Chain A
Amino acid sequence: MTRTRTDIAKLGGPWSETMVWYARAVGELRTRAFDQPTAWTYLAAIHGVDFQGWLNQNILPPNPPIPQEARRIFNQCQHAGWFFLPWHRGYLHAFEAILGDWIASQGGPGDWALPYWNYLNTNDPNARDIPSEFVDATFDGGTTNPLSQATRGPATTLGPQAWIPVDISLNAQTETIYTSDPGTLGYGGPISGFAQQGNAFGGNESDPHNLVHVMVGGDNSPSPQGWMFDPNFAALDPLFWVHHCNIDRLWAAWMTSAAHSQETSRPWRNGPFPRQFTMPDANGNLNVFIPSETLPGEALAPTYDDLVDGTGIPPAASGGPAMVSAAPPTAGPSRLIGVNDQSLTVTGTQVRSRLAMSAAPTQTLGAVGGQQRVFLNVEGVKGQSASGVVNVTLTAPGADPGDAGPEATKTLVFFGLANATSVEGPHGGSGLSQIVDITEIATRLMSDGQVDALDAHLAQPEGGGAELTVDRISIYIREEP
């Protein structure tokens, strides 16, 4: 039996058979106790759980039964590292199998598959709207709709807003390398260990993954943010799963290009150690999986109805992706060329920091997706908000950022900020880093040759949240191989 995942917009909805069964299954799983491996709350806690927060929001009843394997199975989600994509693929597979098993047992389609929200499909004018099945109050002849039973922000469509002035895009699909060298952007993220919130985001995770989470979940401040805003609540929202299904599809599409280099080194293929990725099956048994099982042709590889619409990837050329192993992190071709001189506190008021440049990029900087590129790193960002947004404007030393023009500003989104800041949790408290391509900005600022310094101006956008701190700002260049 093959489960083929399909675009919600192509299912003939609203309330196609696939979506009706999804809603019924979510409703069923929500009736199960927290310590049952097939319960809605158990499955969401595998991604991340703020136990006290769940109690405060009555997501869990007082004194819920805690599964004995809680420390092993909960808080597993892999973010800001190279396991982001394979871990979430295994997670979706387990979720889909559990729902599919119940749906089949109720007389539903035996090949039921998780649908995806194809929000970047330019052929669909309504693609960015939250699908109506996740908004309707009732379904199935008046039954309360479990798919809309979630705390969300006010946005009903994806796109720039005053507090997050940046749009989702398919820019990541042009990245050619899965694993980034230090300080540079790759498709899948930098080398990492088992890290619920690792160090730096990969291209796919940064945009559109993080942006969709934050756009859907914020901004309800100062009241509790929507669930999608926080990794410890996100998987409670049924929308999470169709969002991640699309993120996974983008990876599947990316891997069809012969121009792309998928990671296959032993440390990636075998996964982290000693804590390994573990998922429940439909019978409640716990099984370990490793990233190599998520690659095309392997047991956890999904099937999609289409890998072209809304993926930015042309129809597959023969041959598929190149499968390569990452270079050791210390031997990568990336090079640090600038670093600032101080840690910063960032609020709604702009703060400036000067970067001393040790070298200028060469005159032959490439366009996005090319081999010679410049990257801005905003590192060690910490804060108490579940996620954070920061605008960074780069100028020549002493220049007024107001004169720089909008193209000189990058908006960075830090999904899972509070998790990454906590020293009491599974991250360790080193904060998050965001890497963004500034090749065009650097080309313009350095067009006259060697520069000794650049100024970075940082502020939270309009209506910015709680104070953030930034350990370091740096600039890296990725040289030609």
Chain B
Amino acid sequence: MGRFAAFTAQLSSSTLPYLFALSGAAYLALILLPQGGAIAELCGTLTVSDLGRLLLTAPWLVSPGQLAFDWGVMVVAMMTPLIAPLLSHARRSVTAERRWAATIAFLGAYWAVWWASFLMIFPLAIALTTVTGDDAGFPAALLIAMIYSASPAAQRARNACHVRLRIGAHVFQDSARQGFFTGLRCIAACWPWMLVPLTVVTGHTALMAVIAFYLFADRITPPAQPGWQIPPAFETLFGPTAWRAGSFGAKTAR
């Protein structure tokens, strides 16, 4: 039976269908909006020297406002499906009348943190492409992301992504706090993967979708003991035989 049946059953539960709809709308915006694509135009040409040349020849492509908008849409498209359990936690912890407030606060804070990560991830992408050159940027970013995903640090970050915080009487603040910390932990788990689509010249949006799918497969794995391992997304995608390798170390004694 049915890994596929279990998978599709899970997709139909919780807030996931709505989050996928939001994500899909953002992908459509990236593709269809006439102003969209500044990041896509820059991708793969993000060396420091190319950036200087672009500023002289096509400054609209590095407009901070346009970049911020594109990055925001990119974050909504890629990162929204990752938060279903914690968004559900925020929604079920409040009265029915405050459920929308909790949702807006959670999503707003989560997206805001991810949006601000641009200040870290974009310079990192420029630095990487400058060091490796245009052609090697993509494989280098992929290698970094894969090694990081297999590391204990990534598993700790993934575990933290499951932590529920108190949602008390201050619904808006508490939900925003949950969204904020979920966003921070999500960045800690996913950041190298966001470098990858910034290093390709063509197929930027398609690569975004592939990576978002990978990150979803990564996130729906349950928490686990940190250790070097085959990245958990491979178990989701290919089954448990791919997951057998990995450390099984000592846990804290009672």
Interface status of A370 (Cβ within 8 A of chain B): no
Chain B at the A interface: mostly helix, strand, loop or mixed?
loop
* Residues of chain B with a CB closer than 8 A to A339's CB: 168-169
Known contacts A267-B10, A335-B95: A330-B3 contact under CB 8 Å: no
Interface residue? B147 (CB, 8 A): no
By the criterion CB–CB under 8 Å, are B9 and A274 in contact? no
Complex interface residues of chain A between 317 and 340 (CB less than 8 A to chain B): 328-330, 335-337, 339-340
- Checking A52, A71, A193, A328 against B85 with a beta-carbon cut-off of 8 angstroms, the contacting residue is A193
Determine if B163 and A428 form an interchain contact, defined as CB atoms under 8 angstroms apart: yes
Known A-B contacts A290-B1, A335-B96, A336-B94; A273 and B251 likewise in contact (beta carbons under 8 Å): no
A341 close to B169 (CB less than 8 A): yes
Contacting pair B2 A290 (CB below 8 A): yes
User: Is B139 in contact with chain A by the CB < 8 A criterion?
Assistant: no
Chain A residues within an 8 Å CB radius of B229: 71
Residue of B nearest to A331 (CB): B96
Least CB separation from A422: chain B residue: B252
Quick check: B9 and A426 within 8 Å, CB to CB? no
Residues of chain A in range 106-134 having any CB-CB distance to chain B below 8 Å = none
In the complex, which residue of chain A has the Cβ closest to the Cβ of B160?
A: A423
Q: Which of B25-33, B41-49, B241-249 contacts its partner?
A: B241-249
Is A380 an interface residue, CB under 8 A from the partner? yes
Shortest C-beta distance, B219 to chain A (Å), equals: 11
Q: Cβ of B248 and Cβ of A71 under 8 Å apart?
A: yes
- Complex CA gap A472/B253 in Å reads 28
Give bound CA distance, A287 to B245, whole Å. 18
A472-B168 in contact (CB<8A): yes
Q: Which residue of A lies closest to B248 (CB)?
A: A70
How many angstroms from the CA of A225 to the CA of B253 in the assembled complex?
12
Residue of B nearest to A56 (CB): B253
Contact A424/B6 with A68-B245, A274-B235, A380-B166 known, Cβ cut-off 8 Å: no
Do A266 and B248 form a contact, CB below 8 Å, given A182-B92, A335-B96? no
Specify the main secondary structure of chain A where it touches its partner.
Answer: loop
Q: Which residues of B contact A69 (CB under 8 A)?
A: 244
Task: Check A272 against B10 for contact (C-beta < 8 Å).
Answer: yes
Binary flags per residue of A261-302, CB closer than 8 Å to B gives 1, else 0: 000011101111111101000000000101000000000000
- Is B217 interfacial (CB-CB < 8 Å)? yes
In the complex, whether A153 has a CB less than 8 A from a CB of chain B is no
Q: Separation in Å of the B1 CB from the closest CB of chain A?
A: 6
Interfacial residues of chain A within 180-204, with CB under 8 A of chain B in the complex: 182-183, 191, 193-196, 199
In the complex, the chain B residue whose C-beta lies closest to that of A190 is B92
A71 x B168 contact (CB < 8 A): no
Does B223 belong to the interface (CB within 8 Å)? yes
Give the chain A neighbours of B95 by CB distance below 8 A. Answer: 335-337, 358
Q: Check A104 for interface membership: any CB of B closer than 8 A.
A: no
Cβ-closest chain B residue relative to A192: B85
B223-A427 in contact (CB<8A): yes
Whether B240 lies near A426 (C-beta < 8 A) is no
Instruction: Establish whether residues B7 and A273, one from each chain, have CB atoms under 8 Å apart when the complex forms.
Output: yes
Say whether A472 contacts B225, CB under 8 Å: no
Verify if B53 is at the interface (C-beta below 8 Å from A).
Answer: no
Q: A10 within 8 Å of B by Cβ?
A: no
* Residues on the A chain within 8 Å of B169, using CB: 339-341, 356
Contact (Cβ within 8 A) B252 A424: yes
Whether A270 contacts B9 in the complex (CB less than 8 A), given A330-B99, A428-B159, comes out as: yes
Residues of chain A within 8 A (CB-CB) of B253 are 50, 52-53, 56
- Chain A hits for B217, CB < 8 A: 274
- Whether A270 and B2, one on each chain, are in contact in the complex, defined by CB atoms closer than 8 angstroms, is yes
B220 touches A273 (CB 8 A): yes
Which residue of chain B is the closest to A49 with respect to CB atoms? B251
> In this assembly, does A447 line the interface, its C-beta being within 8 Å of a C-beta of chain B?
no
Who on chain A is nearest to B218 by CB?
A274
Tell me, yes or no, whether A471 is within 8 Å of chain B by CB.
yes
* Contact partners of B10 in chain A: CB under 8 A: 193, 267, 272-273
Q: Which residues of chain B from 97 to 118 have any CB-CB distance to chain A below 8 Å in the complex?
A: 99
Residues of chain B within 8 A of A55, CB atoms compared: 250
User: B195-221, CB under 8 A of A: which get 1 and which 0?
Assistant: 000000000000000000000010011
Nearest-neighbor residue (CB-CB) of B97 within chain A: A358
Among candidates B9, B166, B223, residue contacting A343 with C-beta atoms closer than 8 Å: B166
In the complex, A274 Cα to B11 Cα: how many Å?
Answer: 12
Instruction: State how many angstroms separate the Cβ of A285 from the closest Cβ of chain B.
Output: 13
Residues on B with beta carbons closer than 8 Å to the beta carbon of A307 = none
User: Is A340 within 8 A of B168, CB to CB?
Assistant: yes
CB contacts (< 8 Å) of A72 on chain B: these are 240, 243-244
**Contact, CB under 8 Å: B222 / A193:** yes
B168 contacts A341, CB within 8 Å?
yes
Smallest CB–CB gap between B247 and chain A, Å? 8
Chain A, residue nearest B249 (CB): A51
Q: Which of A74, A269, A472, A474 is packed against the most chain B CB atoms within 10 Å?
A: A472
A468 at the interface (CB under 8 A from B): no
Tell me the complex Cα distance, A193–B156, Å. 19
In contact, A273 and B92 (Cβ under 8 angstroms): no
Is B126 an interface residue when CB atoms closer than 8 A count as contact? no
- In the complex, which residue of chain A has the Cβ closest to the Cβ of B229? A71
Taking A272-B10, A276-B6, A290-B6 as contacts, is the C-beta distance between A425 and B221 under 8 angstroms? no
CA distance A230 to B253 in the complex (A): 11
Choice from A191, A225, A380, A418 contacting B13 with Cβ under 8 Å: A191
Could you list 14 further interchain pairs (A-B, Cβ under 8 angstroms) beyond the known A71-B243, A329-B92?
Answer: A266-B8, A274-B7, A274-B221, A276-B3, A276-B6, A329-B88, A336-B95, A423-B160, A424-B225, A426-B223, A429-B160, A430-B163, A471-B165, A472-B167
A-B CB contact pairs (8 Å), 21 listed: A51-B248, A51-B249, A72-B244, A182-B92, A191-B13, A193-B10, A193-B220, A266-B12, A271-B6, A274-B3, A274-B220, A274-B232, A328-B14, A335-B95, A339-B169, A418-B254, A423-B159, A424-B252, A427-B223, A429-B223, A472-B166
What are the 7 tightest A-B residue pairs by CB atom distance, in nearest-first order? A428-B162, A52-B250, A274-B236, A182-B92, A273-B6, A428-B223, A266-B9
